[in-house]
Structure 1
Amino acid sequence: MTFRPFRSRFAASALAALVAVSTAAPALAQPRGLPIVRDTEIENLLRDYARPLFRAAGVGGSQTNVVIINDRGFNAFVANGRRIFVNAGAIMDSRTPNELIGVMAHETGHIAGGHLARLREAVERAQIIAVIGMLAGAGAVAAGAATGGRSGIGEAAPGVLMGGPHIAMRSLLSYQRGEEAAADRAAINYLNSTGQSAKGMVETFRRLQDQTMFAARQADPYMISHPMPADRVANIEPLAKASPHYNATDPADRVARHDLARAKLAGFVERTDAITRRYPPSDTSLPARYARTIQMFRFGDRNRAAALADDLIRSQPNNPYFHEIKGQILLETGLPGQALPPLRRAVSLAPNSGLIRIMLGHALVATGNNAVLDEAIRELRLALQREPEAADGYRQLAIAYGRKGDRGQADLAAAQTSLYEGDLGAARGLARRAQASLPAGSPGWLRAEDIVAQRRNQQN
């Protein structure tokens, strides 16, 4: 499992537009990249959850893009019309696969409904309402000043000036509540058409209702972006119960994968006391042992963690992710040579995982043994075909080519590292340097030219 920022200019601009409406501000600085979690095991699970929903909704084509956000809150959202972002908290707190699938079905409804594009239009309309309201308010204040303020408008000036943005925000939030309700209804349709129950969706909203009961009593129902959880339960529960699939249950193998994913995330992102509360010593289940292996790796004795990983492997010898976690423990303990056998085994069991191949390539490079550099380059290049934006893969590739004395390929890989880390200036400089060493017109030279040109295109 790895952690890195996710950068999306569109997501940033959409957020900026929303905040601009709420504050009547003309501009907003771009937020930093979202903290995302990359993990083959959990991403494959989420894709398996999303794929039938996308097919039912007629969206996504061959691509099922799900991104995990390193955030403890129970949330999921659509940010660019193609990807579903799911918080780690939503995965850990979904007690069954069906609960999480219900959340993802709702977000699929947003994608199929084109809600993000329509939200941008609604934002633009709300901004116009805000500006008109402020201009009208300013005119009223000016009129009051011209009469010497005897009408009392002067005292009311702040409220008059804020009326436009307030009306605009209420209009926008009303629109959003309507879209949320539409996505709820669409979600139930997708679940029905895929033979799945909407019970988990109802149970999720009921749990949120219990958690937000006090806040809901204090909330202005016209100043929230989502329908109240109680209203959502009331609206969708009859539809859910009317389905012939309402009492359908998750297959046992899906439940097992779900529980392991929850345990893995908890082990990697929660505090040690929270992990122990979630998986007390009395819990000897496989998910609990998985979480404790990672807990020991992060907070305790890494030698003991490797031994716990061996115990996992004995339980499921053909589980690639148990071999992966052992390899990661050894690699990050400073034992890259010992990490090679479990990582090679993990790759053989999960040959389509670019992330595991990158870890193997990293371990090969970290051995410092020049005899395995060709293997490292081969594994890294295969990995990057599946993970073409993985900065760490290019970083390790740059080191490997540098040790072989291939300056052109080393600079090109370093340029791509900088590019996918968001440093376009450094990427451009390294790409130019790579071109000086690579044959003109070769694939590497052309890729370097693409990087140089990308900066120019962004400036135009």
Structure 2
Amino acid sequence: MRRPRRALAVALSFLAALALPIEAAVAQSQGQGQGGPRVRIIRDAEIEALLRDYTRPVMKVAGLAQQNVEVTIIGERSYNAFVADGRRIFINAGALLDSETPNQVIGVLAHEAGHIAGGHLARMREQIAGAQTMAVVAMLLAGAGVAAGAASGVGGSSLSSAAAGAITAPQEMIRRSLLSYQRGEEQAADRSAVRYLNETKQSSKGMLETFERFQSEQLFLSQRVDPYLLSHPMARERIAALEQLAKASPYYNAKDPPALQERHNLMRAKLAGFMERPDGVYRRYPLSDTSLPAQYARAISAYRYGNVNDAVAKIDALIAREPGNPYFLELKGQALLEAGRAGQAVPPLRQAVSMTGGNPLIRAMLGQALVQSGNPAFTDEAIVELVRATQRDPNSVEGWRSLAMAYGRKGDLPNADLASAQSLMASGEFRTAQELAARARMRFPPNSPGWLKADDILNFKPPKSAQGSQ
């Protein structure tokens, strides 16, 4: 995320969704849409790496290791998670921020893995399986958003209010499809989650703690919310069904490893620094708190709202305290880049790329810094870094856009057009992407690799809900 004056807004095509990636460095406006639901997708190298570590053992015992299930973070403050198809789990940033232990998040993810392994999504419309990630989120707003809003009890939630507006009489069939989770399937997913946690020698206490949270939040909702409008059973029913199984596990009192807990604490601090205003950050992490997570949150808050030199000094103190942490170097590069000091951002970002084995999100930011530095000597390096980044993460909107700029500076117009088209495809702006792809195809030799990629874009069939909305 970035300062309000340079907000990271990515308007998602057909539903005007808004993506605010924590680690992306340049904002871009894509799509149009008016008055539609808005959703934020958060991309962050550090948090995504942690979530992969959380899910890897669970996916293995669930038989899903080969499906490359992705966990996507939604920038909503409410506590919620849901699945879209056989390869995507969505979790709200609020769930990560409010979960005090890794086990609480792992329990939620294990439950969603139970849905995927149990084939509970067979009734989802076929188009969802091939849709872009952000397109799936937008389509699910009309369904899962209702459960998120009801469970959170936050009347002003942008997700719940947008979903409530989206579920109207003409969309009744869509609503029924997207809220088609059966209560029995939810309980089956709970039982599967306990089994996965037992097989990986982890506690299921975190699941119970999560449902207890839902229960306390739903006490005042139960008299005015129709439980059949929710995609999940009311919390008290789930606790009653789950508690006996969970407490029978020999691992019920197992604790998370200290190193994993520390990473979890850093994740929460990072989210707080990016999502909360300075007064909220300092209430959560007062100056008397000298822990690493507290310093992290205050450094992020300083870069977002304060003086960049003060922020860099705070980040340098983090680096001095833990020099082997690549995400502190990444944060320094991001702070400098967003302050208009792209050339100074290059060295720490190069280090971070090297230390993470070429993480594509950090690599894309490095490529962006190389492009924005204005140094012509960096153009070839930028192209190399951005090509590598987009090969590993083809949904990197900013990576493709920066690559288009780099190709443009080289006078390589066919590849510049193609990269621009791929950037638009990644954000869901299909019609404009195909217009650029048509121009790129005309510039490439027939049947060359670039020509074939442009042709693929031209032959792509957008989800029906995206057609005619641009």
TM-score (norm 1): 0.80
Higher helix share: 1
What letter corresponds to residue 390 of structure 2 in structure 1? L
Alignment match, 2:441: 435
Instruction: Report matched runs for 1:265-276 at 5 Å.
Output: 265-276=271-282
Closer, same or farther: CA 453–215 of 1 in aligned 2, 3 Å: closer
Alignment match, 1:419: 425
Closer, same or farther: CA 279–188 of 1 in aligned 2, 3 Å: same
When the two chains are superposed, the root-mean-square deviation of aligned CA atoms in Å is 2.9
Alignment match, 1:321: 327
Residue 342 of structure 1 pairs with residue 351 of structure 2: no
Larger Rg: 1
1:65 aligned to 66, 70, 77, which one?
70
Closer, same or farther: CA 391–48 of 1 in aligned 2, 3 Å: same
Shift of 1:432: 2.3
Residue 240 of structure 1 pairs with residue 246 of structure 2: yes
Alignment match, 2:304: 298
SS at match of 2:182: helix
Larger RCO of the pair (alpha carbons < 8 Å, separation 6+): 2
Contact 2:123 2:180 in 1 (8 A): no
1:111 aligned to 93, 108, 116, which one?
116
Contact 2:329 2:352 in 1 (8 A): yes
Alignment match, 1:39: 44
Shift of 1:219: 4.8
SS at match of 1:79: strand
* Distance in 2 between residues matched to 1:70 and 1:285, nearest whole Å: 26
Shift of 1:231: 2.5
Contact 1:8 1:33 in 2 (8 A): no
Contact 1:99 1:200 in 2 (8 A): yes
Closer, same or farther: CA 111–5 of 1 in aligned 2, 3 Å: farther
Shift of 1:75: 0.2
Unaligned runs of 5+ in 2: 3-7, 18-33, 127-170
Alignment match, 1:377: 383
Alignment match, 2:56: 51
What letter corresponds to residue 270 of structure 2 in structure 1? K
Shift of 1:457: 10
Instruction: Report matched runs for 1:40-439 at 5 Å.
Output: 40-118=45-123, 176-217=182-223, 219=225, 224-439=230-445
* Distance in 2 between residues matched to 1:70 and 1:439, nearest whole Å: 42
Contact 1:7 1:32 in 2 (8 A): no
* Distance in 1 between residues matched to 2:231 and 2:427, nearest whole Å: 33
Closer, same or farther: CA 336–7 of 1 in aligned 2, 3 Å: closer
* Distance in 2 between residues matched to 1:456 and 1:318, nearest whole Å: 44
Closer, same or farther: CA 229–423 of 1 in aligned 2, 3 Å: closer
1:7-42 Cα distance to aligned partner (Å, 9 max, x none): 799xx9xxxxxxxxxxxxxxxx99656310000110
What letter corresponds to residue 108 of structure 2 in structure 1? V
* Distance in 2 between residues matched to 1:201 and 1:72, nearest whole Å: 19
Shift of 1:388: 1.0
* Distance in 1 between residues matched to 2:44 and 2:104, nearest whole Å: 21
Shift of 1:405: 1.2
What letter corresponds to residue 359 of structure 1 in structure 2? M
Shift of 1:118: 4.3
Unaligned runs of 5+ in 1: 13-28, 122-164
Shift of 1:425: 2.5
Identity fraction in percent: 57
Shift of 1:269: 1.5
> More deviation in 30-39 or 292-301?
30-39
SS at match of 1:116: coil
What letter corresponds to residue 74 of structure 1 in structure 2? Y
SS at match of 2:381: helix
1:276-310 Cα distance to aligned partner (Å, 9 max, x none): 22212221111111111111111111211111110
Q: How many residues align?
A: 396
* Distance in 2 between residues matched to 1:384 and 1:429, nearest whole Å: 21
Closer, same or farther: CA 31–85 of 1 in aligned 2, 3 Å: farther
What letter corresponds to residue 109 of structure 2 in structure 1? M
Contact 2:86 2:116 in 1 (8 A): yes
SS at match of 1:454: coil
Shift of 1:431: 1.8
Closer, same or farther: CA 174–383 of 1 in aligned 2, 3 Å: closer
* Distance in 2 between residues matched to 1:119 and 1:439, nearest whole Å: 40
What letter corresponds to residue 264 of structure 2 in structure 1? H
TM-score (norm 2): 0.78
Shift of 1:455: 5.2
Shift of 1:389: 1.9
1:151-188 Cα distance to aligned partner (Å, 9 max, x none): xxxxxxxxxxxxxx99xx99x98962222122111111
